[in-house]
Copies of this chain bind each other. A is one copy, B any other.
Amino acid sequence: MRDITLKQIAETLGISITTVSKALKNYPDVSDKTRKAVLDLAQSLSYTPNSFAVNLRTKESRTIGLIIPEVVHHFFSSVINGIIDEAEKNGYLVIILQSNESLELEQKQVELLMNKRVDGIIMSLSNESNDDEHIKDIIRKEVPFVMFDKISKLIPCSKVIINDQKAAYNAVEHLILKGCKKIAHIRGPVNPQNAIDRFLGYKKALEKYDIPFDSKLVYTCKNVTFEEGKAFAEQIAKEHPDVDGIFVITDLVAVGVLAHFNEVSINVPEQVKVIGFSNWFMSQVITPKLSTVDQPSFEMGVQSFGLLLEEMNARKEMKGFVPRTIELDTAIVARESTL
């Protein structure tokens, strides 16, 4: 059974393609009789417009691209969730690609999406990338573009972020208010803006409460894994047994920290308090329950698509578009690990 086309409907009805097209799109200048005939036939043949042809004609595909570091990750999959949902509501589909934290892959994928002529791109940078050429290329080609979470401050595009610095500040302050005097920080990789900001927040909180900053208490993740958390916890316990608080870049790593302390029977929160970041679902399930910073991931997805839609619509109507940045609120979630 071949696909139904306007032509076929036109021929069976003995009218022109033009008229069929108009009838289907509810143009006013078609007689009711004709319209009805067309609509009925189209219905019974279950006609659907050939989207390839429509794409070519209208120059839009009602499809957007999403590039994230990795799909298997609570935070990112929640964002995906928000984006897909919101996109679907607005008649858009979402192509997802993952950079696996590799700049090279990310570049290729941006190219893929542009060649595919998606209507817009949403992206969270890999740890290796920044305001690189491939990103600038998106701007140059005027493809609607939104960054979230791991962004590049230098790129002029819409962004959805949290105030990482403030959130980190609050997390460390929370440790301090709980009585911690010597606080270590397991930070994210050197490159990503949010790792930098969280580090700055950490520093600022120490400063504020007159705790001397000691760069030896800062441990830098390379891959941001559970295993790294375990390893750093071990290292911290050895190198600085008097550390009584740890602020960890993200929950997954923090859970690694807890796992190590469990293994060697270092009591959390008695001997050392731990706070993570991003409120991973699992954090409330482990023992002890992990205190953390709640990050509205689903909402980030929704807002990201919203901003993209704004830009796509503005461009369609040839209106100017000024990028906007939306900053979402975070909140400390105090649980057992900082009791």
Interface residues, chain A, CB within 8 Å of chain B? 1, 48-53, 55-56, 59, 61, 63, 70-74, 77-78, 80-81, 84-85, 88, 93-98, 109, 112, 114-117, 140-141, 226, 255, 259, 262, 281-282, 285-287
Whether B96 pairs with A1 at a CB distance below 8 angstroms is: no
Q: 16 extra interchain contacts, Cβ-Cβ under 8 A, other than A255-B285, A286-B286?
A: A49-B115, A50-B56, A50-B117, A51-B115, A51-B117, A52-B117, A56-B56, A63-B116, A71-B84, A72-B77, A85-B98, A93-B97, A93-B116, A94-B95, A259-B285, A286-B287
Q: Give bound CA distance, A51 to B111, whole Å.
A: 13
Which residues from B are CB-within-8-Å of A72? 74, 77-78, 80-81
CA distance A140 to B1 in the complex (A): 9
Q: Is A93's CB under 8 angstroms from B93's CB?
A: no
Pick from B55, B141, B255, B285: contact of A52, CB below 8 A: B55
Which of B93, B96, B109, B115 meets A80, CB within 8 Å?
Answer: B96
Interface centre among A59, A81, A96, A112, by most chain B C-beta atoms within 10 angstroms, is A96
Q: List 21 A-B contacts (CB under 8 A).
A: A50-B56, A51-B116, A52-B52, A52-B55, A52-B59, A53-B56, A55-B56, A63-B116, A71-B77, A71-B80, A77-B77, A81-B98, A88-B112, A93-B112, A94-B95, A94-B96, A226-B285, A255-B285, A282-B285, A282-B286, A286-B287
